[in-house]
Amino acid sequence: MSRLLSRRHLASAAAVSRSAPLACVSRWLHTPSFATVSPQEISGSNPAEVHNFVQGSWTASANWNWIVDPLNGEKFIKIAEVQGTEIKPFVESLSKCPKHGLHNPLKAPERYLMYGDISAKAAHMLGQPAISDFFAKLIQRVSPKSYQQALAEVQVSQKFLENFCGDQVRFLARSFAVPGNHLGQRSNGYRWPYGPVAIITPFNFPLEIPLLQVMGALYMGNKPVLKVDSKVSIVMEQMLRLLHECGLPAEDMDFINSDGVTMNKLLLEANPKMTLFTGSSRVAEKLAADLKGRIKLEDAGFDWKILGPDVQEVDYIAWVCDQDAYACSGQKCSAQSVLFMHKNWSSSGLLDKMKKLSERRKLEDLTIGPVLTVTTEAMTEHMNSLLKIPGSKVLFGGEPLENHSIPKIYGALKPTAVFVPLEEILKSGNFELVTKEIFGPFQVVTEYSEDQLELVLEACERMNAHLTAAVVSNDPLFLQDVLGRSVNGTTYAGIRARTTGAPQNHWFGPAGDPRGAGIGTPEAIKLVWSCHREIIYDIGPVPKNWALPSAT
């Protein structure tokens, strides 16, 4: 297939060369062999198509759903969205996988090695500048963020694949043995797959989240059906084509485009033994109930940062705050949502520096850009509600972006910070409002005095989402106190602490919830994608002098 595509590209390039400038030809020649789209070429007059993959083949659907370009509102990508009446092939495909998986430590162990090889090939391909550039630009088209942010997503994915080359996949399934009570007895603990599983991922990391989760599922022997938010599923569709080129067996995973309702239906009919959901808490709670708990969750983040009493490195910390709150236009689940600032920082100029840094962001290079799930009106309305709280004020931002063609269905807001007094945040009428996750370039800032640390910790305790956090201080007693009385799953501590940017070598996920999932590290893969199985071997011999005991 890849050869066919390459030939097709060459043929198109030749056709184009008769009429178009050389630059265009070179773009086609640089489109990777597996790819069916060229990021720069997609437009209203040249729309891209995204297909499904089930039971080993690419398929269309009776319905095309149009995705609009977040920067100009043009219909530019057609998605073959599977309808409720079309899910049968996906249900059948999943049902072909037994509960004991496609491989496990006692079945087809050579597949662990095969996945080591696939990862090595995929890491090599993704590491080639033309291919990382292809994915970074494709990500930018559907989930607008700066080139550096999009490229970082590709690089994290590439490093992750490198981490699981060679024998590293089989090491994920390392088992242990404990000597038994008598000769011939021993217990072995194994990491066992769930078999048929489902993965649902959101729009904000179109490559990293689905790729890392799907590979983790496959490594451990599961057969996943993957659904990525249709707004961005083109990225993972192209990645799946790359994986096939690297040797991923066609029957090992399915890829579905659908709306949430159809996916919900598929989950209920196909009955996957485990579902990994990454997205909003609203959908997470619905699925947890529908699936009777057979689910792991990576849901909303209302991520806090506490600046300790020791004021230092103000320029650096202002820059980290700016990146944490506003990179990717605040659409990271790890984005800084609230900043608790010790009063010692008031005269440091930190807030002024943050304001200046936020003003450097511009639409032209996508350092600020469209917000895909919250409209400008909704963000402004939220801000106005906060401003009704006594003592609140806009520190900076608070206005819509200007001179743009971002469609109205998406949001466009300047990087915004609103100050709310700490005592007011804690009032029961205000707390829910202030700690509502706004998935956009928006943060709340507050201040605390020496004797108010208890109130800060009370606020952190009362929050529901415990994803990321940062304790910015090099005072070991302060760190110990705050870390010992908080729970967030991915917490950075020290003067360089941040809330965002977790690469593949950091566990990333919420804590404090037994349903909490993780992503990135070997521990995350083992926790999410395998369960413990203990086999107790007891092969004898039965002692020669054994006699029938009395009944017990």
Residues annotated catalytic, as ranges: 298, 333
Per CB under 6 A, does 61 bind ligand NAD?
A: no
Q: Which helix (H) or strand (E) holds 460?
A: helix 453-462
81 binds ligand NAD (CB under 6 A): no
User: Nearest distance from residue 180's CB to ligand NAD, in Å?
Assistant: 41
How far, in Å, CA of 227 to CA of 260, rounded? 9
Q: For residue 377, what are the CA distances in angstroms to 336, 373, 380, 411?
A: 21, 12, 5, 8
Task: Using DSSP bridges, classify how beta strands 442-448 and 416-419 pair: parallel, antiparallel or unpaired.
Answer: parallel
β 75-81/48-50 pair status: parallel
Report d(CA 17, CA 203) in Å as an integer: 36
Strand 176-179: give its sheet, edge to edge.
176-179, 185-192, 531-538
The encoded tokens of residue 535 equal: 């086999």
504 belongs to the binding site for ligand NAD (CB under 6 A): no
Adjacency order of strands within the sheet including 254-256 = 57-59, 52-54, 254-256, 223-228, 196-201, 274-278, 295-298
Measured torsion, CA atoms of residues 203, 206, 211, 213, in degrees rounded to the nearest 10:
-20
Residue among 358, 373, 473, 490 that touches ligand NAD (CB under 6 A): 373
Q: Among 3-11, 55-63, 272-280, 479-487, which window interacts with ligand NAD (CB under 6 A)?
A: 272-280
Give the position of tokens 């590290």. Answer: 521
Q: Where do we find the tokens 């048929």?
A: 196
* H or E element that contains 445: strand 442-448
* Stretch of 52-60, 134-142, 248-256, 258-266 contacting ligand NAD, by CB under 6 A: 258-266
499 binds ligand NAD per the rule CB under 6 A: no
Query: Binding ligand NAD by CB under 6 A: which of 287, 327, 444, 456?
Result: 287
Contacting ligand NAD (CB under 6 A), which of 81, 153, 162, 229?
A: 229
Between 262 and 416, name the residue whose CB sits nearer to ligand NAD.
262
**Of 433, 436, 414, 425, residue with least CA distance to 391:** 425
x/- letters, 313..342, toward ligand NAD (CB under 6 A): --------------------x---------
| Distance (Å, whole) CA 199 – CA 90 | 13
Phi, psi of 450 (to 5 degrees): -45, -45
Is residue 237 close enough to count as binding ligand NAD by CB under 6 A?
A: no
Please tell me the number of Cα atoms within 13 Å of 158 on its side-chain side: 18
Options 30-38, 86-94, 236-244, 256-264: segment touching ligand NAD (CB under 6 A): 256-264
Among 264, 376, 430, 435, binds ligand NAD (CB under 6 A): 264
Q: Which of 252, 254, 298, 513 binds ligand NAD (CB under 6 A)?
A: 298
Told to check if 300 binds ligand NAD by CB under 6 A, we report yes
Q: Does 299 bind ligand NAD (CB under 6 A)?
A: yes
Nearest residue by C-beta to ligand NAD? 260
* Interaction of residue 204 with ligand NAD, rule CB under 6 A: yes
Choose between 274 and 350: whose C-beta lies nearer to ligand NAD: 274
Tell me how far apart the alpha carbons of residues 519 and 216 are, in angstroms, rounded to a whole number: 9
Name residues contacting ligand NAD, limited to 434-493 (CB under 6 A).
437, 439, 467
When asked if residue 280 is in the footprint of ligand NAD (CB under 6 A), the reply is: yes
User: Nearer Cβ to ligand NAD, position 32 or 202?
Assistant: 202
Assess contact for 328 and 439: CB atoms under 8 A: no
Instruction: Name which position in 89, 189, 260, 494 contacts ligand NAD (CB under 6 A).
Output: 260
Contacting positions for ligand NAD (CB under 6 A): 200-204, 227, 229, 260, 263-264, 278-280, 283, 286-287, 298-301, 333, 373, 437, 439, 467
